[in-house]
Structure 1
Amino acid sequence: MSSLRLLNKVIFLLLLPLIILPVRGEEEAIDIWKTDSISDEKINEIIIEDNSKNESKLYETIKPVVSNIKEEKNLEKIKQNIFGLFDPEENNLNINMWINSDGKIILEKLNKIDEIKLSKDTEDILLTTLFTNSYSPEKNIEPLIFLDFKSKWLIKNKKNKIIENYLLKNPGLMGQSILVEYLVNEFLSEANVDKACEKTKFINIDYQS
């Protein structure tokens, strides 16, 4: 009976949010023609120095722009992709079940559940809910944070076979390195170097940039 109550609590905590929550300006130019005492050599020094400053300013301007573009590109990749293991229809769930939910609330509920010692049946239901193919929530949370929680949950519960299957079925998974590192360390701890090296195949170079 207590297991049933706990199961109902887990489902309620997970699904409640889904039900309720649908410089300055340009520097003044130097008038190098104003005095005849300025030599050609001095003029060249001024021009070179000015060009160096402009190049430095241009680099400092471009650097954060390129960085932002890269971050936005990776974020778009996460939003456009569906990560998971199970077919939503097989579990009476929906591919959009998280997308309109408040991610902050979802994460708070999941963290509370993560502190509870779950029965096997309850844990299986949580696994199915978390890893059904679906879009990550977008409201009040970065998709990568949600994916990171799921990865750490797998590691904490030592779901080694699930982790391998998850990586295999989701080659474009952002933040996959934490899972690969875990698998490699697991096999190294067993002195199984060949198996450890084999797991590095899951590393997707495109998503490391």
Structure 2
Amino acid sequence: MKRHAPATARNSQPLAEVLARELPASGLVLEVASGTGEHAVFMARRFPALDWQPSDCATDALHSVEAWAQDAGLANLRPAIALDAAAGEWPIEAADAVLCVNMVHISPWEATVGLFAGAGRLLPAGAPLIFYGPFIEDGVETAPSNRAFDQSLKARDPRWGLRRVADIDALAISQNLQRTARHEMPANNLVLVYRKH
């Protein structure tokens, strides 16, 4: 059953423009928390030299990814795999890049910790772990819409909420990754890029 996320249609092209500068020319991109699967199809089509591996921990998301992928019929889009970012073991051994869109604020902090640990295991030196979403930055005023979003997330689940970039930077260092880029995106979002030492 295909699911649709309106934000995906809005952010796919701006995100692809940044990814064109940050992704390797070839290899395998692991997308963690693929959600509906719309990004996976869009990016696999946009980057035909890259193999795209969608994943999610939710069964309904995996079904949606597969439905979108079946319609798209792209040779470089792999079947979606069940992956829980917080798990100590992942069903994939290596990747040349890891992409995570709009997950860290709608999951417990342990999922972000697990994501960095997993990326630390999978990625070769110099390879990117790329985040897209809303964040809180020290010294930068948080947009009112993001503050309201943060409050609504915490009301739904106290373990959720917008993350501080400083906390993510510190976590990265603990897993031998370092932030190498920050891209401002539409709708008060950021792309943060971390690379393996």
Q: Tell me the TM-score normalised to structure 2 length.
A: 0.28
Structure with bigger RCO (C-alpha 8 Å, 6+ apart): 1
Q: Tell me the TM-score normalised to structure 1 length.
A: 0.27
Larger % of strand: which?
2
The structure with more radius of gyration: 1
